[in-house]
Amino acid sequence: MAQFKKMKIAIIDYNAGNVQSVKFALERLGVNGILTSDSEEILTADKVIFPGVGEANSTMNHLRKLGLEKVIPNLTQPVLGVCLGMQLMCSHSEENDTECLNIIPQKVIRFRPDSKEIKVPHVGWNNILVKNDSWITENLNDEYVYFVHSYFVEVGEFTVATTDYVQPFSAALQKDNFYATQFHPEKSGSVGEQILNNFLIK
């Protein structure tokens, strides 16, 4: 863990929930992440985490107020989006008809189950199946992780892991230096720690 201590890890703080739990998860790995909405801090970080729990439209508006809608898509260091952060990396969300950051050209849509017995939001533990090679999911397959979401990204070109709830959907994405998980690694026990560790090591 000693190599992590020299890293500058920026956790983007943009009026979305869950940023503190990500910071605490990094601290358990021996990393002191910086909560920040400052563009310069984010641009000069070794790695960036883009977490979030909330509603797409209001959080995108807050990103625009901070000028981060222009900063985030142009980051060149490794970036990890989590939950809402992953969805905002996409092109468009059905949640209040929201134009997103268009880093990953995929759409975010709402679960529409056929049965009232299938609850939305999808809350709880579910397994991930690795679809394509990515170091973010290295040494992981058919592991259980924790989800809380009503919207999802369909399986597509940039999907690296899937989960099945109502239908198969993207549990993790990768495009160039941008990585993302729909589930919460910071709440997923040892599996989540492994994913965060993969992100920090590479």
Q: Could you give the residue numbers annotated as active site? A: 83, 184, 186
**DSSP secondary-structure letter at 98?**
E
SS3 of 23, please?
helix
Task: Answer whether the bond into residue 121 is a cis peptide, omega within 30°.
Answer: yes
DSSP string, 142-201: SEEEEEEESEEEPS-TTEEEEEEESEEEEEEEEETTEEEESS-GGGSHHHHHHHHHHHHH
Q: Can you state the angle between helices 189-201 and 19-28, rounded to 10 degrees?
A: 80
* CA-wise closest residue to 46 among 5, 90, 92: 5
- Distance CA(187)–CA(56), nearest Å, equals 21
